[in-house]
Structure 1
Amino acid sequence: MTQIAPYGTWRSPISAAMLVSRQVSLNWPQIDGTDIYWVEGRPQEGGRNVLVRRTVDGSISDVTPVGMNIRTLVHEYGGRSFVVDQGEVFFVEFNDQCLYRQRSGEAPVALGTPAGVRFAEMLVDRQRNRLIAVAEDHREGGEPQNYLAAVDLTNGTLTPLLTGRDFVAAPRLSPDGAWLAWLAWDHPNMPWDAAELWVAPIQTDGSLGEARQLAGGPGDSCFQPEWTTDGHLLVVSERTGWWNLYRLDLAGYATPLYPLEAEFGQPLWQLGMRTYVPLTDGRVLATFLQQGRWSMVVIDRHGQRRPIDLPVSVVHIVNGADHRIVFIGSSPTTPTTLFLLNLADQTLSPIRRSGDLPVDPAYLSLPEMISFPSTGGRTAYGIFYPPHNPDFIASEDEQPPLLVMIHGGPTAAAQPTLRLSIQYWTSRGIGVLDVNYGGSTGFGRAYRELLNGAWGVVDVEDCIAGAQFLAASGRADPDRLLITGGSAGGFTVLAALAFHRVFRAGASHFGVADLAALARDTHKFESRYLDRLIGPYPERADLYQSRSPLYHADQITSPVIFFQGLEDKVVPPSQSEMMHEALRSRGIYTEYVPFPGEQHGFRKAEHIITAIERELAFYGKVLGFTPAL
């Protein structure tokens, strides 16, 4: 029987423990022979990453021994940290960041790579008995050096192949082993600003010959080069303002494969991301994001396209070999799942799920893709999840609280997928708006560049506009608007509270409070990011101060709760600590929740549970309701 109860007090079957209990993250699938490999992140094991294998008979087992953790810290955000070739695994161990070799059925053996050098996105060059990898060298102190490196498989000797660029990514060896392709970019650009595609012949001694640039640069960022069997290159290029897929010859002549106002690429926050697979018969299997939904298509040599019908709306990391394709997918009602697609017989099989759906689907709030007017006549986007619980309704005269969620990046994107961390709120009677503010990916380069010079302005305006749009339509209580976000999203939270009077309370998860401190203290990958989002530092120190919530903490009158990993190198703990103290000293209700051993984002089960339970209790205190246990 449906009960009448105030919003926020509904009793929900979705507990905080369900967010991590029997749940794992799935990432980096790869096929080697008849076996399928992937990485599982396990909150119940302290966030340990484990390489898992499924053999042809369907049996699944861990490859990574107990006590080891597969994870690279290149760019701090990491990325693809293993490669499998002919049954041998080469991987980065988290604790020492060194490379290991693991033959089938044997324990891993260190290759002997030097301490202080991190590796990512390895490929095996059997012809020369070596790995080729992205290396990040911290041995000299100061800003680390990033370069392409060769690692001898016999003794671990490290040989730089390409130096002189601030960043490199995506090394790809041609099928005949004669050429190497890669991406490169320099400060102050991020990869989505100006990543360039380069190729060079490999000399008889293994070094690179004269390199040539084939594509990319300012205004045309490249993503994921791949070789075809006939010696051409595929690459995702942004020359039309959208990340589209092209075929190139070694002279740089480009042919578009599927011109479309859609995104075939993604911001390269983690090394090794893939959105398409070249097939051995010359076709290409590609995925793209359009109007908030991912699609999959096979493109043949003549440009003919055949769509693949998928039971999911979000696709993450696609890989494959021959006619077998593996990818991670999810939908609003489907947990994240590793799928195997067999193009030969058109079958799609689930291989591994991140976890079972622990509740009746009747408790799920289904997303609504919305657009709404924002400042200056622009249109912004979001995904709205209304409060929903079949056991409860509120009285007719009550409007629900709304929690505005802000993704990080800030070039990331909110996508319509099953997230228990959203259903946790909606099943308790709190609506959620996941905002794709100006700067988000998925709407073309022009939309993403709306944030250039305007971080802390455009993002804040769009989040406010979305909340007020829902309030004006009667779907949210204008007096009970809340805001939460992590990292860059945490900055937007604090800026919205410092410079506007719209939200009753906010939660900052490892958010930026002092932009100048971030510019001075953060890691190499993002050390010049703010040049584009704010302005050059210290030349525009005035802008950094005027946009930094810390210097305007005296204008914040709403309560704020802070969550912070104490080993965070991206946004150091001092950011949250200074902001918390600035509010506390003025008598503003604030809480600070530090997590020892956590970095940028929380991986340990107990910390994930604590964070969401504390945030709910915090909102209850502010809005005057008592959450049901």
Structure 2
Amino acid sequence: MSEPLIRAGAVPAPYGSWPSPVDAALVAAHDGRPEYAGQVGAEVWWTEPRPAEGGRRALMRLRPEDGTPQEVLPAPWNVRNRVHEYGGTPFAGAPRRRGGPLVVFTHFADQRLYALEPDAAAGAAGPRPLTPVSAVGGGLRWCDPVVLPERGEVWCVLEEFTGERPTEVRRLAAAVPLDGSAARDRSAVRELTTDAHRFVTGPRLSPDGTRAVWLAWDHPRMPWDGTELKLARVTGGALTGVRTVAGGPEESLVQADWAPDGGLLFVSDRTGWWNLYRAAPEDLPEAAARARPLCPRQEEFGDALWRIGLRWFAPLEDGLIAVLHGRGGLRLGILDPATGELTDVPGPWTEWSAALAVTGTRVTGIAAGPRRGWELVELDTRTGRARAVAAHHRDPVDPGFLPEPEPLTVTGPGGREVHAQLYPPRNPDRTGPPGELPPCVIWAHGGPTGRAPVVLDLEIAYFTSRGIGVAEVNYGGSTGYGRAYRNRLRGQWGVVDVQDCAAVAAALAEGGVADPARLAVRGGSAGGWTAAAALTAGPRNGTDGADGMNGADGRFACAAIRYPILDLTGWRGDETHDFESHYLHTLVGPWAQVPERCRERSPVHRADRVRVPFLLLQGLDDVICPPAQCERFLAAVRGRGVPHAYLAFPGEGHGFRRAETIVRAVQAELSLYLQCFGADRDDVPRLELRP
């Protein structure tokens, strides 16, 4: 472990008690990040979080002539949608010769698609609706739009509920007229594809407008398990001759698009790694399955397709391709498809989100690094120069209080590698008492098919600057390390993830890095499941402990659990959303074959094993991990004498967005650790723990 930055005269003080300028309000103010960078002519557009405004997403614009970011729509406009509940690309635009750009976007409050002409006289009247409001179930939802002024339409994904149940839904590609004729008439929306597949991405038109490609998949697969690449002719505005040209049950394609010369580009993991492939235009459609890899490597050129419309590559007009790639992280490179040469972009940005936008020789993306928050970055491929152009990072406090990550690889059960990153306590004015090891919190990311990026996170700094370490674990099942690493979790959810988190905790304790008596576990969503599974890992009361199967028994002194999955017997079908309603098929096993396994692994059915304090945090509007799961768990724990607290937040869904919620949540979590680690401070409201 590297030595922390300590000023001369730093005062020894108990871990957890250190004074810090990183307060909860600062954490809340910096929560969220820019998303969905997109090109509209020469302009870059994106969305930004507004925690102080109820967590809405503001639509932003950057014009090259002045270089000043502009917020396009005032509150309460909220540019976001609920497709798959996680949302997809919420806007797109097209330049016009007169009147400025035409932009379409989805508004979160009513899920309608709107048109906006910000520079035209008509723009003074504000956005105009393009789609109707549905009275059925979750309504009509739209995402991943492509604006086609020459056709008078916007092509996008339509998610349409046919009943009140969350699984009564159909999805397809649709064409919405730009003249507003569908605003009150659902029948004016043209359906471009059938609903033969449960899930689809938006169609991408070839440069000559004669072909379209998109991805499709069906239950019980998730998109990182297997998808199909669809290719169709565009005939008179209709998609005809649809055929599957690549993909399958064990091949995951996550993005498809066109090169300027009409070649087909797509990202596939057919070799065990998401790599970029190309099929020549003269070989289509037959040769897509035999497309050649452009830069074959044991690296990822893609990631899990959690939201529709993500872009890990973007072709430039000169034939080069901007790509994201890496192992355990994604950095930006420029690929020459003719030679396979890949040149990485210089600068402090080591992690890029899947939101690449290109125009001419410029590439714009959203990037961050260990010492920089997420910002909008532009690369000029002619000069190789990259610079931040919007949402600029500015150190909110003295950088000496900010965390420094250390890569960590430990050995898990069976000799398998487990990847993590450690953030030791760091405060330039304080050091720990002589001979004392710091406490540490093991963070389990969500997904579970996800990854913890190595970027500056003020929520981590909130704890590390006070003397509490954090270790983020990319347990088996995480992305970034190839398909075999992802597949470790198949049938083993609640086992491998917990074992890997316990292995990291053990390595820190045995290596003299963390106090073995002051380790905690924390996670949200699927990470909340992992934290709760670790919490309930011990033997049942009155048994000899033979069924403590995942190695976490007695390892953790407490747990902080956010909007979790707690009951697999309920978290399927209609107790969650449709996108993940069959996720357990691969994570645990087909329900009909393993009902007892689902019950036995569920924390709600292992509540008698809970022996240490815990905190539950839950949004009351969460439809992905509904509050009923927490309520059942609390009922099972009640009366067992285990100190715990439950904080439920009205108006919050899956993940917290409002500043006041974020403040309360991080303060409550810190108070839990202070009480369990034997530390004290008077600047944080005390969390009441009741048995």
Q: Name the TM-score, length of structure 2 as normaliser.
A: 0.89
Once the 2 structures are TM-superposed, how far is the Cα of residue 129 of structure 1 from its aligned partner?
Answer: 1.4
1:513 to 566, 569, 589: 566
In 2, Cα distance between equivalents of 1:158 and 1:354: 40
In 2, Cα distance between equivalents of 1:354 and 1:158: 40
Distance 1:477 1:433, change over 3 A: same
SS in 2 for 1:208: strand
Report the residue type matching 1:83 in the other structure.
Answer: A
Would you say the 8 A contact 1:26–1:354 is kept in 2?
no
Report the residue type matching 1:328 in the other structure.
Answer: I
SS in 1 for 2:235: coil
1:145 alignment counterpart: 170
In 2, Cα distance between equivalents of 1:101 and 1:135: 16
2:207 to 132, 153, 175: 175
Would you say the 8 A contact 1:2–1:391 is kept in 2?
yes
Would you say the 8 A contact 2:320–2:334 is kept in 1?
no
Once the 2 structures are TM-superposed, how far is the Cα of residue 355 of structure 1 from its aligned partner?
Answer: 5.3
1:76 to 73, 85, 101: 85
2:408 alignment counterpart: 370
Once the 2 structures are TM-superposed, how far is the Cα of residue 276 of structure 1 from its aligned partner?
Answer: 1.2
In 2, Cα distance between equivalents of 1:292 and 1:131: 34
2:272 alignment counterpart: 241
SS in 2 for 1:209: strand
Once the 2 structures are TM-superposed, how far is the Cα of residue 353 of structure 1 from its aligned partner?
Answer: 2.3
Once the 2 structures are TM-superposed, how far is the Cα of residue 168 of structure 1 from its aligned partner?
Answer: 0.3
Distance 1:347 1:420, change over 3 A: same
Deviations 1:31-65 (A, max 9, x none): 22222111011101111111111112112211123
Deviations 1:269-289 (A, max 9, x none): 111111111011111111102
Would you say the 8 A contact 2:94–2:149 is kept in 1?
no
In 2, Cα distance between equivalents of 1:22 and 1:528: 34
Would you say the 8 A contact 1:121–1:134 is kept in 2?
yes
Matched, 1:15 2:29: no
Once the 2 structures are TM-superposed, how far is the Cα of residue 67 of structure 1 from its aligned partner?
Answer: 1.7
Identity %: 41
1:135 alignment counterpart: 158
Report the residue type matching 1:124 in the other structure.
Answer: V
Deviations 1:298-328 (A, max 9, x none): 3243333333223211111222122111111
In 2, Cα distance between equivalents of 1:149 and 1:293: 32
Report the residue type matching 2:108 in the other structure.
Answer: F
Distance 1:398 1:332, change over 3 A: same
1:187 to 206, 219, 236: 219
2:442 to 393, 396, 404: 404
Would you say the 8 A contact 1:42–1:48 is kept in 2?
yes
Q: Structure 2: any 5+ residue segments left out of the alignment? A: 1-8, 96-100, 183-187, 538-552, 684-691
In 1, Cα distance between equivalents of 2:305 and 2:565: 21
Report the residue type matching 1:43 in the other structure.
Answer: P
2:387 alignment counterpart: 349
In 1, Cα distance between equivalents of 2:272 and 2:105: 36
SS in 1 for 2:159: strand
Distance 1:173 1:491, change over 3 A: same
Report the residue type matching 2:242 in the other structure.
Answer: A
**How many aligned residue pairs are there?**
628
Q: Structure 1: any 5+ residue segments left out of the alignment? A: none
Would you say the 8 A contact 2:90–2:144 is kept in 1?
yes
Matched, 1:29 2:37: yes
Structure 1 residues 410-449: aligned runs within 5 Å: 410-449=448-487
Name segments (4+ residues, structure 1) moved above 3 Å: 139-142
Matched, 1:93 2:104: no
Once the 2 structures are TM-superposed, how far is the Cα of residue 294 of structure 1 from its aligned partner?
Answer: 2.5
2:670 alignment counterpart: 616
RMSD between superposed Cα atoms in Å: 1.4
In 2, Cα distance between equivalents of 1:179 and 1:244: 23
In 1, Cα distance between equivalents of 2:466 and 2:345: 37
SS in 2 for 1:546: helix
2:623 alignment counterpart: 569
Distance 1:628 1:323, change over 3 A: farther
Once the 2 structures are TM-superposed, how far is the Cα of residue 215 of structure 1 from its aligned partner?
Answer: 1.3
Report the residue type matching 1:113 in the other structure.
Answer: P
1:304 alignment counterpart: 341
Would you say the 8 A contact 1:9–1:428 is kept in 2?
yes
Deviations 1:193-249 (A, max 9, x none): 111111100112x22111121211122100111111111110000010000000024
In 2, Cα distance between equivalents of 1:128 and 1:221: 32
Once the 2 structures are TM-superposed, how far is the Cα of residue 483 of structure 1 from its aligned partner?
Answer: 0.5
- Segment of structure 1 superposing worse, 578-587 or 470-479: 578-587
Structure 1 residues 209-288: aligned runs within 5 Å: 209-249=240-280, 250=284, 251=286, 252=288, 253-288=290-325
Deviations 1:134-158 (A, max 9, x none): 1110144442111111111121221
1:66 alignment counterpart: 75
Would you say the 8 A contact 1:23–1:354 is kept in 2?
no
Q: Name the TM-score, length of structure 1 as normaliser.
A: 0.98
SS in 2 for 1:104: coil
In 2, Cα distance between equivalents of 1:509 and 1:22: 19
Once the 2 structures are TM-superposed, how far is the Cα of residue 356 of structure 1 from its aligned partner?
Answer: 2.6
Deviations 1:117-140 (A, max 9, x none): 100001123332111111110144
SS in 1 for 2:599: helix
